[in-house]
Structure 1
Amino acid sequence: MELHEQSHRLNVIIGGSPPCNESVRSVKEFRRKAITAKRWPATPKTSPQITFSAEDTVGIHMPHNDSLLIDIGISDCTVTKVLIDTGSSVDLIFKSTLVKMGVSLNEMKPSVRTLTGFNGSSETMLGTIRLRVYAEGVARNVKFSVIDVRAPYNAILGTPWLHSMKAIPSTYHQCIKFPGNDGRIITLRGDQAAARDLLVVDVKHQKATSHVNTVAKPIQKIYPLRDEILEIVIDDTDKAKTVHIGAYLPDEMKDKLISFLKDNVSTFAWSTADMKGIDHTITTHELNVDPTFKPIRQKRRKLGPDRSKAVNEEVERLLGAGSITEVKYPEWLANPVVKKKNGKWRVCVDFTDLNKACPKDSFPLPHIDRLVESTSGNELLTFMDAFSGYNQIMMHPDDREKTAFITDRGIYCYKVMPFGLKNAGATYQRLVNRMFADRLGVTMEVYIDDMLVKSPKAADHIDHLKDCFLILNEYGMKLNPAKCTFGVTSGEFLGYIVTQRGIEANPKQISAILDIPSPKNSREVQRLTGRIAALNRFISRSTDKCLPFYDLLRGNKKFIWDERCEEAFDQLKRYLTTPPVLAKPDKGDTLYLYIAVSNAAVSSVLVKEDRGEQRPIFYISQRMTDAETRYSTLEKMAFAVRTSARKLRPYFQSHSIVVLTNFPLRTIMQNANHSGRLSKWAIELSEYDVTFQNRPAAKSQVLADFLIELTPELEQDLKLPSDDWILHVDGSSSIKGSGVGVHLQSPTGELLRQSFRLGFKASNNEAEYEAQIAGLRLARAVQAKRIHAYCDSQLVANQFSGDYDAKNERMDAYLKVVQDLTREFESFKLTRIPRGENVCADALAALGSSPADQVKRTIPIQHIDKPSITLSHDADEHVAAIDAPTAMDTSESIDQPDDSPPDWRIPFIRYLSNGEVPENKWEARRLKAKCANYVLIDGRLHRWTSAKVLLTCLNTEEAALAMAETHEGGAGNHSGGRSLALKVKKDGFYLPTMIADCDNYARRCDKCQRHASDIHCPTELLQTSTAPYPFMRWAMDLVGPMPSSRQRKYILIMTDYFTKWVEAKALVNITDKEVQNFVWKNIIFHLRRLSWLFGTMGDSLEHINAQKSTKQRPSRSHQQDDHRGN
């Protein structure tokens, strides 16, 4: 058999089908049995002894290190150069060997398992096949693993065949011994000469290989499984008319497909003569040149002999096909020629100047990612390409001469749509969308001239092809048989490999990276990053992997390819040897998002659950800007989610997304008080169905890069929210008054700010204690458990810690009140800080101590009328602090009584507490957007105002009580509805319908109706009414009699109120007829605008307006005694 050139040698092979079940549990159990057999060995069965002696080396050249190659019978053939490999756990046979043996590949059972070599490189199996192997009369049924690689051997027999034969090989003695059927030991000699032949070829191959001055680990190229195709003749009269079909189709379907293709041989174009083109009544290509652009005639360019010959040949071909025609005196003129990739010349006219004058056609092209995903997962596919697709569409007759180009033979213009025009792709896509409107997305996918027929069930594929060809024949579109493949399970489409398993990276794009050497300048690095960008969807955390390359291109620094770059380059190549197979999400699937954050980039992967395994759908990665790198760690993680939502918007819109993270992202995204950007991101994400869950164990090796969400440096900087409430207090005392400021922050970042005005004289120390007491009461009201308080008063802090004695009677009383309040909390700690670190509380205290008329009521100021202590000189003990007024019951009840209206807070509380949303998609989206301004504190719903003031949300009953207390309570003044709503809001309460409810409450108040002032005045000041637009309102007046001129004594004048435009006419007599004619002729017919007419001529005006209303539209006339209104 023919000896193939050696590409690599697998010294140890692991994989195939193990001698147990293929589950991980079974393999582990199989391993434990080996350990058990070693510890407690069983008595072996007796067998013939096999020995080797010096006699076995007779006829062998010594010394040697040759491999053991034997000749053996496989099926009906004698196969030479079969390697005996004790390091292989599978028996291998190569596809080329089976073809030479004449074994049908239909007998092979497909398999997607991989074989792994000693260095970690792997090969994908085509399948397995059982063949009869004969060795010196001893036969065994051997299960071979079939692979399609070039190798110097025809087959490899590993431990499965050796163990089944109970054979002992010896490479030193160049033989293998095993017991025969009768128990005698049989010796099978190796072929040392064949081994030396392989050595000669290997040495020659190494000599021909260029030397390198570096040593690197080999990068194994791995290609995805591709369908084999067969070339068949579809026209018995012309054997050259062939197409390609899948090689593994069942015989019945193959016959049907061939018969179908023979019946539709006219759909293919074998030359330009067979291409008739699309009827011009269906579509033509129009340039729509902007007339403001001056036509440009390019100067003729000099071409070399080879280029000139290629242009003349192409012109001759196009003239024969009728695609071009000669033209004289063209306004636009261009030059041809670019070089094709395969070394041939291809004529393509330089339409750069013409394209600048053509506006862009905004007809949308399909999204490539969506097309590729909809193509994968089908049992059978057919790939088709139109024959010179653009040239099948005719140019509009008015635009043909604009496509003129100059050659040695003359000036020609295109009659068909040429390549290179600006909107050619949009014109072609518009045509195919029209042709296959009922098939797109169902049985077909089309991207410009690339067409694909897909069938989820293989049995329906012929019918789908018939529908497609019926449309092609109807419109007269021809296919290129050289680029069509029918009835395959996988193939290349739009740069991807689509299979039934999913989407695979294009091996050509992978080879483009694996084959290039290390870059030597910035241009080669740019070429490398461009190739990486084409595979970004398949590369996990691509920005982190390629960060050294991107750093080389930043700034104008000197190019230095260091070890860090080389290591990243090698790591990238090894990753690309085993690229992941991306899955396709199905309708209704819940998708999962893993995120990872480093110092320079954020990355994520979208996965789906498939039979207990998590399969990736899309990898994304983005480098952070300088400002984004300064985000806090939790903000960076939220930024990763927001970036994923933008880049994967179609998936987020169509599926429920679960973000898997072990960090409290849900808390900070639902409580956006930390920063404005978090609030914006929360509102943006509220559009989608996004939930957050803790991470489970990863169920796929392709998620290995996302096992660690944060780098160690970021994890050290991460500050998770604690359970402590942070309390800042301060007191202020001055001649104008005393005030108290309280700043309370929840563990999740919500802020409560209150300012109090003391209604009594207080010293600085007393104001500080009052602040501490007010802060503790506020913390108790929100049911805080653990408090860490900060104040800038040295006296209060040291007296509380016991460092200072409270000798003053009032200070001692205040101290005991504070101590009594702190006992109500699980934990309390008081720390003194400098005044500069207590700015917020200090400002709130200063606000409370300011005069009332100087304060803008942005933050409500409450009053403390009496001191928090009461002194009694007759008692030994001080009286405890006076409790604050009892607040209303804040307990929440989710279950409403049947006779009470539904509580508007329930959906907010359910979403903020456990993420529960309404079933309706749009209601859920609206709820998430609204919840960005709400927060749940110990089961109580609060709402943030624009000034970041926290308001307690009330239900209907609580709101009615709050309105009653504010409107007619002890401090009420029976204010109006809007004023009442503002007062309730300043008291710290919120209801969505607060303004309307307060207005209705004030209107129903009996005392307000009885005693309110009855002031009869207009709602606003009277003002002159003006015309809103020109020629709407006119003023008319009559002047005369005056000295006659040609018997005319009177002047009729009309003035527009808006523009002051004047129309006048001299009259002999004043009659209704004259006035009507003047108005119709000079105003209505001339200006075509008249809505209002004012003047002193009542009868004439009424007559004019009556005629106007019957002829045109209703109009209103107003008489005005004072005609000088203009």
Structure 2
Amino acid sequence: MLVKKANSKWRMCIDYTNLNDACPKDCYPMPNIDKLVEAASGNERLSLLDAYSGYHQVPMAPEDEEKTSFYVGDEIYCYVMMPFGLKNAGAIYQKMVTIVFRAQIGWNLEVYVDDIVVKSLKADDHLTDLGETFNNLRQNIMRLNPAKCIFGVESGKFLGFMVSRRGIEVNPEKIRAIAEMEPPKSVKDIQRLTGRVAALHRFISKSADKCLPFFKIMSSPPLLTKAKDGEILYLYLGISDEVISSVLSYLSSPPLLTKAKDGEILYLYLGISDEVISSVLVREEAKQQKPIYYISSVLHGVELRYPIAEKAALAVITSARKLRPYFQSHPIIILTDQPLRQILQKPECFGRLIKWAVELGEFEITFQQKSAIRAQALADFIVECTLGAGALLIGLDGCRSEHALKFNFDATNNMAEYEALLLATGDGDQHRPKHTELEDPILSFLQDEIVPEDRQEAMKLRRKASRYTLLDGVLYKRSFSLPLLRCLNPYEAEYALREVYEGVCGSHVGARTLAHKVLKQGYYWPNMYKDATHFVQRCLKCQFFAHLTHQPAEELTTLVAPWPFAQWGLDLLGPFVKGVGGVTHLIVGVDYFTKWVEAWPLSSLTSKNVEDFVFSSIICRYGIPNQIVADNGTQFNCTSFRDFCSSYGIKLQFTSIYHPESNGMVESVNKCILEGIKPRLEQHKAKWVDELNNVLWAYRITSRTAIGETPYHLAFGTEVVIPIEIGVPSFRVTHFDEGRNGQLLRENLDLLDDLREEARLRTLVYKQKIANFYNKRVRPQTFKVGDLVLRKAGLTGFETRFGKLAPNWEGPYTVAEVPHPGAYILWDTEGNRVPRVWNVNNLKKFYP
């Protein structure tokens, strides 16, 4: 069986159930992932390596090769290298890499199966460490997958975590997987959500508290009821969104976890509630406490009735079991307001307490009365419901501006701080001075020789001031290109940019050119290029007259039909010279699976003609399709044709407006039909109707690259007899046996499913190659709801009034909805919906 991998390649999997049942279990211990991740952090340089084809680098013993046998068709094969699917494959491979890198593991390398990280405490030593690793790889003939290897980085993803010199961070992909989930509608959805949250439990304080409502639903699911639209709704209302929001709010600024140093003292804080016990292991550095590991567990059964002191003891024993390597190698100070030392060490304790005391006796544990948490290092660990926030702004002249904010929701300390910061920032912008001199410290130094009290700051100011001078009270900067550059304040800088950019002698140039022009005119201020970039980016005229973009903005989305004649693409082709019967257009239909083509000449473009074509040429011949894809023409996107499709249960899908690539199959067939008709007509263009069937026949019996077969063969299971076989009889015509012909045709039909499956796989590979080639040119551009965008003016006839002087873009519009990636529904400035769906290639971001 072929299984598609994450990199779009294929892996062959074989069912070795019987072989695995007969094999004894290899008890080689696998490394602890948490310890490997912690060991990989705290290094200046990392290289992340991936072994090529993993298990296939381990040779099989010759006498065991036949045990891996499998058959394909009538042929029998076996593996000479270790295949995927064997019970002991992981342990054997881990044993091999442990032997290969035994001199490096724990020193400058960590390895888990085929994931290898080369680490260096100092960046200067990294090449030496890599050289040692490559020597071991060469000596043992191990190969790496270059597409998955990353060399000489400061941070990277290892075993699902982001490791760097700073510590261990959450993998953003796991946060995105939770954020992009739909609200849970079933117990299975809730199990899926809690599973994703559980994968991040090390980073989430009180994770069990946050997910407790979900655990309750899974342990005793509430009643289900059916809504009118068929959606399953829980009577347990209002919980899901609240819990998801709280988790996502916490993960928006996840904590940075650090690793413990050998032998240092670690601190364990406990959190006890009615139904959950939690703890966090921290280390102290420079009088600041930094988290190492968060633990949380839900209480069950009799545990819910424990006294609070016994719950605290249970939190200690749970932490010790989960963090056993830390408890064994470090002294642990447990900070709690419960008398745990007296409870666990008193002679008369019995039952579970004496068992817990014995189990904790092997560790070096000290109990200490908890005081206030220093430096608020764990402020996000203790959740408080606050009422509001305040901000106080104090100016240089002593003026004060006080503001208060009251919340109508429960907020954590972090949330309150963010809200207060936003409040202060917004008010500060209103009070920002318009004419502040940016070089005040330099002016003070040059005029009065005033320097900061800090010695280093004073030296820095003297060095910086040596590049400046004062002339008649005006500050100038010594330049490499001109004698002196006048220093401007923000108000003067904005005036200079506007005058040079759009003044009488100005021109709408790029940001870099704009900054250079201002500089050459003899002016300077800090961040000139950054200010010029923002100014150019927000110029309305430049946005409307900007060059049209030709690079795709969204990766190619491939369409593959599930079975023959299930998905058809429709399009109109023309106009042509009027033919017999007054026909001027063609309606073309293409089956996405077999590439079979049907076409009708039309004299008028009406929805009734389209319905007749679908009924006569598609439904009556090949059955009712599952889906029809068409453009936004009025013949397709109308009430009549919608009702027609709905009456037969056909899903009607429309492509993005002015984006024919969305229905590329039909566009490709249209091109083939035109190329087939043109050479046949010569001077008699009106005879295109007579040549249509010949062109369609030629297309149907020509092998198509995507499927590797002719549409006729894939549709009917045999090849058609063509005229040349009558004029010059072929082998099958000469040796035609009427008696066996029927039997041969039935055998062909029996093999047709296999032929179609091969064509489907070949189509997938072909489309993936096309997508890979197309995606190399993609320049990603995405918008979210509420963003302002411009639309290509040429799509709506906006430029016809002005000819060559017309703008290239028009708008702005607001993104109202994102039906699927790369497609957008827009609102105009009055809040009215713009008709149809617009592709991202026809839009660009607008900067007000």
What's the TM-score, normalizing by structure 1?
0.33
Indicate the structure whose relative CO is greater, using CA pairs within 8 Å and at least 6 residues apart. 2
Question: Of the two, which has the highest radius of gyration?
Answer: 1
Compare the two structures and name the one with the higher helix fraction. Answer: 2
